[in-house]
Amino acid sequence: MSEDRPGPAGGEAGGPQFDFLLQEPLSRARGGDSLQKQLLRRLRAAVLDGRLPAGSRLPGSRALAESLGVSRNTVTLVYDVLSTEGYIEPSKQGTRIAALARPEPENRAHPAPVALARRTERISGRDSGGADSLLFTPGVPALGHFPLAAWRRSLDRVLQQGGTELLGYGPPRGEPALRTAILRHLALARGMRCNPEQIVLTNGAQEALSLCVRLVADPGDTAWVEDPGYGGAQTALACGDLTVVPVPVDADGLRTSASDWEDRPPRLVCTTPAHQYPTGAVLTASRRLDLIEKCRLHGAWIVEDDYDGEFRHSGEPLACVQGLAPGAPVFYVGTFSKTLFPSLRLGFLVLPEPLADRAAPVVDELLRGGHRHEQLALAHFMESGQYGRHLARMRRLYRRRRDALRTALAEHFDVPHTVTGGDSGMHLAVRLPPDVPDQALARAARRHGMGPRPLSRHSLLPDAAHNGLVLGYGNTPESAFTPGLRQLARLARELD
Amino acid sequence: MSEDRPGPAGGEAGGPQFDFLLQEPLSRARGGDSLQKQLLRRLRAAVLDGRLPAGSRLPGSRALAESLGVSRNTVTLVYDVLSTEGYIEPSKQGTRIAALARPEPENRAHPAPVALARRTERISGRDSGGADSLLFTPGVPALGHFPLAAWRRSLDRVLQQGGTELLGYGPPRGEPALRTAILRHLALARGMRCNPEQIVLTNGAQEALSLCVRLVADPGDTAWVEDPGYGGAQTALACGDLTVVPVPVDADGLRTSASDWEDRPPRLVCTTPAHQYPTGAVLTASRRLDLIEKCRLHGAWIVEDDYDGEFRHSGEPLACVQGLAPGAPVFYVGTFSKTLFPSLRLGFLVLPEPLADRAAPVVDELLRGGHRHEQLALAHFMESGQYGRHLARMRRLYRRRRDALRTALAEHFDVPHTVTGGDSGMHLAVRLPPDVPDQALARAARRHGMGPRPLSRHSLLPDAAHNGLVLGYGNTPESAFTPGLRQLARLARELD
């Protein structure tokens, strides 16, 4: 817009409607808003609230600038913005206030009931968030034992050496160096079979779970979940508008039945085979092979969520389902939230080999890469052996804590209970009698700085066996076990 | 599993089936796999491929250890893992190979056609990814002008001072310090009205768009998008299984019609009001107020994608739609990919005030926080004024580049064309005559190291007016404009 368009010089432009601009002087405080911004805001507000009615002619920029004691350029720029935004418009007799659609006052409130999507009704109020620092919160690793100084050095090295090229988006599926490092580690440690093109780096395991759903499941498709099971998987499935079918878990892991396969065959089967969450069961080889076979027959896909399989307390980590058969119909989901630290928010998905060629272009459209410095720092951390050493240290630490927690439960938690799990990972499941309702106990515990999760929160079907607590020991020091469990026992008795 | 369970001592256990274990000695190379891992792998493979048939009795751990020249403990641990995994099981006569479900060879391939979800058919092959470093790639800021050293210091300061507490998940909606800093900036710069509880930090703008869909739209709901428009929005809507309706754009931005409101009322209206992508139009105040009003009447929500509104080249950045009316039904989506750098992968969503109380708990279930160091480094960057100074520098740089690109187009791009946009941001839209098909030109350009996007890729409806190129100048130096445009003109002529 050119300098001369706003109102021609002359008495008829401007007028008393514009007096409000002069009633309060513009603020010239240092560090405050610019004069331009203040003038703009006042004029917009006056148009919106009707003080400047449609058709009013603007004062000339020179006249207004003089009245306000600002430079003419300031007024011109303000008029430019208002013109771009459509608050003012040129006319034959100079620039005028535009006629704006103005809502009737009775329409001001959102009239329709403020409705969320149907799926969110299934998600809302699940309250899965544990505070990182509460005693016994599951799923949080030993934050104080992370080699933060070494990590800082790895990250700073990348920031310093990577140059500005690393500031761009980068490959949608993530940095090739990290994908290769993950593949090497998983092939050795877990018997993974894949190539780097199948690996997708994600914003935590949750994005990996969402990707599985987006790639292969349509709304209304059936997904099987373990019951009790991991709430995050249920959330990801609910977000994809899938029908979630709970499947029971026993000491051998997920227990599917012929009638389930017949009556409600799944599109996705979500499972935690290495260390069932929360019961701790290991899915047996026989059930793994059977699951692969059945999924192949039914065109279904396994989602193998391997959230803490690195921390096996006796002997080697277990092999993954993914590597059990060539071309197995398995999405493998991994995360560094437990092996490194949660705030890194870095997970990954291994695409099933039979699907990889078709899924990769879709993934490249859905994701935007990013977080390249963190990914390259981690690649260096893994290739230099620091990751492996950290895992080994953490395995020892968690085994000690697991042993100590079992002992403390036996000696100091004088409420009838049975303990399951504990071969891997960072938590024990403690079943409680029905007269100790777990959700009430967890609420009481929270008031005392403790964050165990109620077992029943992980169940879709009501079942008395799913009353209890998930006690995390990842980020809880041994010294807190005895006083914590005594306190929990006291709280349990008070619930009676 | 205890030491003595695997096979009793005695000649009948083990036998010739186990000879394969001895045929090739275990590798003792330093840095290679542990003996335990090798033994485990061989035994698993032999069970899976049938060399060890179900019911075979395992050799005693002492005997096998002696034959292999390994410690008995190694064998015991291997047997433990195999037992946990269900490859072997106890029997009255010692430990035996378990009977595993074994797929028939003809079932080995996935029998059902390997199908992706229906929605992915709409996403696959869109090929929106431009390489960061190609000339004229839109959407990439001036990477070489980012104050990387200052950012490194900000980040390292947080890593050093934040301690181990920051390694945890943190609040799902992100660090309060950054949410407050964003709010302060937006209230001043863009007239945003909200409180920090409405702000959600996301993994780039793409996650913010997905969240809008997840929160309020059910599969089959209608969403309006600008045509031509931003492909990322279409992807997010397709992922939510919405029906996408293209709505035309003119010089005043999104042009909705009474019949559209009547015949196919939307649940979501996606728009880029500050600088329409890719045409560059600004949505006028009158249309903004009308859109708010209509959305209120129809229970619809505006998704205001403000991808580059900070870079307005004349005068102040424009006010946002979100702040235009109290309680406006607007999701505001912002990103730091353009103002800082894409690899940071940090965006945000401002929840509409009328929805915030109900949506916040759902968001807290969907997101897991994380990236806390980056978020706090950015909060410091903003509060210390470094962000504002960087924005001001980049505004000047992009204005210079915009002017230079306009000049170079007029002087050196001797193909008939019209230029639109350029009041804000980092790209110009250049319309071309129909005899220069834009997709072929973009493909040819790519072979010469240039990444302009074909305009027709942004259109859902075929329209001759949408033939042209989106020329990004964010990350392309002025010196490359003239040779680049001459090359593009040559390539355009060769297409004839």
pLDDT category of residue B401 using cuts at 50, 70 and 90: very high
pLDDT category of residue B1 using cuts at 50, 70 and 90: very low
Domain ranges (residues) in chain A: 16-97, 144-388, 391-494
Closest-approach residue (CA) in chain B for A287: B101
Please provide the average confidence, as pLDDT, over all residues in chain B: 90
B217, B316, B342 ranked by CB distance to A168: nearest = B342
Contact assignment for B140 to A47 by CB distance below 8 Å: no
Which residues of chain B neighbour A218 with C-beta distances below 8 Å?
117-119, 241
DSSP 3-state assignment of A332? strand
Interface probe, candidates A316, A321, A376, chain B, greatest B C-beta count within 10 A: A316
Best CA proximity match to A454, nearest among A308, A445, A486: A445
Q: Read off the pLDDT of residues B196-211 as tens digits, 9 standing for 90 and up.
A: 999 999 999 999 999 9
pLDDT category of residue A103 using cuts at 50, 70 and 90: low
Asked if residue B109 has pLDDT above 60, the reply is no
Best CA proximity match to A301, nearest among A365, A371, A369, A356: A356
pLDDT at residue A5, as a whole number: 45
pLDDT at residue B103, as a whole number: 58
Best CA proximity match to A215, nearest among A225, A200, A193, A230: A200
Six-digit token string for B347: 């965006």
The DSSP symbol for A134 reads S
Contact assignment for B120 to A214 by CB distance below 8 Å: yes
pLDDT category of residue B111 using cuts at 50, 70 and 90: low
Tell me the sheet residues that pair with A90.
A95
Asked if residue A262 has pLDDT above 90, the reply is yes
Q: Name A207's Cβ contacts closer than 8 Å, sequence gap at least 6.
A: A347, B203
Q: What Rg, from alpha-carbon coordinates, does chain B have?
A: 31
C-beta neighbour count of A163 within 10 angstroms: 12
Give the integer Cα–Cα distance in Å for B7 and A417: 34
A112, A159, A286 ranked by CB distance to B100: nearest = A286
Asked if residue A324 has pLDDT above 60, the reply is yes
pLDDT at residue A14, as a whole number: 77
- How far from each other are the two terminal CA atoms of chain A, in whole angstroms? 77
A316, A337, A362 ranked by CB distance to B120: nearest = A362
B370: distance to nearest CA of chain A, Å?
A: 4
- The topology under which CATH files domain A144-388 is Aspartate Aminotransferase; domain 2 (3.40.640)
A110, A287, A293 ranked by CB distance to B354: nearest = A110
Give the integer Cα–Cα distance in Å for B416 and B418: 7
Query: Is A391-494 assigned to CATH 3.90.1150.10?
Result: yes
What is the rounded average pLDDT of the residues A264-269? 97
Which CATH number is B16-97's, of 2.170.130.30, 3.30.70.890, 1.10.10.10, 3.40.718.10? 1.10.10.10
Contact assignment for B345 to A188 by CB distance below 8 Å: no
A496: distance to nearest CA of chain B, Å?
A: 31
Question: Exposure of A24 by Cβ count < 10 A (0-12 exposed, 13-18 middle, 19+ buried)?
Answer: exposed
Q: Where is pLDDT greater, at B471 or A10?
A: B471
Task: Report whether A214 contacts A236 (CB < 8 A).
Answer: no
Continuous segment of H or E residues that includes residue A418: strand A418-420
Q: Read off the pLDDT of residues A104-146 as tens digits, 9 standing for 90 and up.
A: 555 555 555 577 888 877 776 655 556 788 999 999 999 999 9
Interface probe, candidates A114, A127, A312, A424, chain B, greatest B C-beta count within 10 A: A114
Task: Return the amino acid letter for A250.
Answer: D
Q: Name B430's Cβ contacts closer than 8 Å, sequence gap at least 6.
A: B409, B413, B417, B418, B419, B455, B468, B469, B470, B471
A86, A117, A170 ranked by CB distance to B218: nearest = A117
CB pairs under 8 A between A and B: 374
Continuous segment of H or E residues that includes residue A430: strand A427-431
Task: Report whether B263 contacts A74 (CB < 8 A).
Answer: no
- Listed as own residue / partner, the contacts of A253-259 with beta carbons closer than 8 Å and 24 or more positions apart are A253/A226, A253/A281, A253/A282, A253/A283, A253/A284, A253/A287, A254/A224, A254/A226, A254/A283, A254/A287, A254/A291, A255/A287, A256/A224, A256/A287, A256/A290, A256/A291, A256/A294
pLDDT at residue B161, as a whole number: 94
Tell me the sheet residues that pair with B268.
B223, B301
Best CA proximity match to A363, nearest among A178, A172, A207, A154: A172
Phi-psi region of B449 (alpha: psi -120 to 50; beta: other; left: phi over 0): left
Q: Read off the pLDDT of residues A420-478 as tens digits, 9 standing for 90 and up.
A: 988 899 999 999 999 999 999 999 999 999 999 999 999 988 887 789 999 999 999 99
DSSP 3-state assignment of B438? helix
Give the integer Cα–Cα distance in Å for A422 and A399: 9
Q: Read off the pLDDT of residues B335-354 as tens digits, 9 standing for 90 and up.
A: 999 999 999 999 999 999 99
Tell me the sheet residues that pair with B429.
B420, B470
Closest-approach residue (CA) in chain A for B273: A85
Q: Which residue has the tokens 């997904």?
A: A223
Continuous segment of H or E residues that includes residue B362: helix B356-366
pLDDT category of residue A102 using cuts at 50, 70 and 90: low
Contact assignment for A239 to B214 by CB distance below 8 Å: yes
Q: Which residue has the tokens 């991991």?
A: A230
Closest-approach residue (CA) in chain A for B203: A203
User: Could you give the count of Cα atoms lying within 13 Å of B209 in the half-sphere of its Cβ?
Assistant: 28
pLDDT at residue B153, as a whole number: 94
The DSSP symbol for A131 reads P
Q: Read off the pLDDT of residues B140-195 as tens digits, 9 standing for 90 and up.
A: 999 999 999 999 999 999 999 998 989 999 999 999 999 999 999 999 888 898 99
Six-digit token string for B272: 């880029």
Please provide the average confidence, as pLDDT, over all residues in chain A: 90
Contact assignment for A318 to B361 by CB distance below 8 Å: no
B390: distance to nearest CA of chain A, Å?
A: 15
Which residues of chain A neighbour B146 with C-beta distances below 8 Å?
164, 167
Contact assignment for A371 to B100 by CB distance below 8 Å: no
Closest-approach residue (CA) in chain B for A240: B240
Which residues of chain A neighbour B153 with C-beta distances below 8 Å?
none
What pTM was estimated for this model as a whole?
0.91
Contact assignment for A123 to B287 by CB distance below 8 Å: no
Which residues of chain A neighbour B371 with C-beta distances below 8 Å?
343-345, 371
A206, A217, A297 ranked by CB distance to B117: nearest = A217
Q: Where is pLDDT greater, at B98 or A331?
A: A331
Asked if residue A236 has pLDDT above 70, the reply is yes
C-beta neighbour count of B343 within 10 angstroms: 24
Task: Report whether A110 contacts A126 (CB < 8 A).
Answer: no
pLDDT category of residue A405 using cuts at 50, 70 and 90: very high
Q: Read off the pLDDT of residues B264-322 as tens digits, 9 standing for 90 and up.
A: 999 999 999 999 999 999 999 999 999 999 999 999 999 999 998 899 987 778 889 99
Q: Read off the pLDDT of residues A192-203 as tens digits, 9 standing for 90 and up.
A: 989 999 999 999
Continuous segment of H or E residues that includes residue B430: strand B427-431
Asked if residue B133 has pLDDT above 90, the reply is no
Asked if residue B2 has pLDDT above 50, the reply is no
Which residues of chain B neighbour A214 with C-beta distances below 8 Å?
117, 119-120, 239
Interface probe, candidates A198, A362, A364, A390, chain B, greatest B C-beta count within 10 A: A362
Give the integer Cα–Cα distance in Å for A396 and A402: 10
The DSSP symbol for A480 reads G
Contact assignment for B239 to A214 by CB distance below 8 Å: yes
Could you give the angle at the alpha carbon of B490 between the alpha carbons of B489 and B494, nearest 5°? 115
Which residues of chain A neighbour B207 with C-beta distances below 8 Å?
203
pLDDT at residue B8, as a whole number: 39
Give the integer Cα–Cα distance in Å for A277 and A470: 10
Which residues of chain B neighbour A87 with C-beta distances below 8 Å?
285
- How far from each other are the two terminal CA atoms of chain B, in whole angstroms? 77
A129, A132, A152 ranked by CB distance to B160: nearest = A152
User: Could you give the count of Cα atoms lying within 13 Å of B53 in the half-sphere of its Cβ?
Assistant: 3
Contact assignment for A362 to B47 by CB distance below 8 Å: no
pLDDT at residue B294, as a whole number: 94
pLDDT category of residue B102 using cuts at 50, 70 and 90: low
The values of phi and psi at residue B93, to 5°, are -95, 30
